[in-house]
Amino acid sequence: MDRILVINGGMPKGGRTELLTRYIARQYNFDYIDINKADLPLLTGEENQWQLPAVVNFKEKIRLSAGIILISPEYHGGMTGALKNTLDFLTSEELEYKPVALVATAGGGKGGINCLNNMRTVMRGFYANVIPKQIVLDPECFNYDDGTLWEESAKLVDDMVQELLMFVKISSNIIAKM
């Protein structure tokens, strides 16, 4: 199977975004990155940052993935600043034509869609192929006792993953013919 990378764009340890990232990685045997453990500095644009082992390693993981699932809580109408800083270390060289799925974790009754739109806009800047299916999961979507999702939420995630895998397969076929 093609390598899919799930990126946890939330910062609180033990939060819903981390729970969801781990759930998807475990459920589908995908790799994942917690950005709070990626050891990436605040991007300053200085040339020496691009040579840092953490930056080189992160960029290589993205480059080698066949598809990506980005997960972020909505902070003040967008993705987390930490996720944006992380993505700013990338270029279209790693993301051009790469299928990307978007998921927002919301605080309940107040959002998520702006986070999705923000992530979609940024991914478009990399020429990534953001898939049509996107999800917002509120607190009541999670079973906190065992770190899973309730059945309806798990079905939404599965439908999104299946669509992402379809786009990965299509992209692989197209790129192979180029």
3-class secondary-structure state, position 6: strand
Q: Are 157 and 135 in contact (CB under 8 A)?
A: yes
Q: In CATH, which of 3.90.550.10, 3.40.50.720, 3.20.20.450, 3.40.50.360 is domain 4-177?
A: 3.40.50.360
β 148-149/142-143 pair status: antiparallel
Nearest to 130 by CA among 157, 156, 175, 95: 95
Residue 164: pLDDT band by 50, 70, 90 thresholds? very high
Kindly report, residue by residue over 57-74, the tens digit of the pLDDT: 999 999 999 999 999 999
- The token pair at 128 is 């990534």
The DSSP letter of residue 107 is S
Residues 6+ positions from 24 with CB-CB distance below 8 Å: 6, 30, 32, 69, 71, 157, 161
In the chain, domain spans: 4-177
Q: Are 8 and 21 in contact (CB under 8 A)?
A: yes
Kindly report, residue by residue over 117-146, the tens digit of the pLDDT: 999 999 999 999 999 999 999 988 998 888
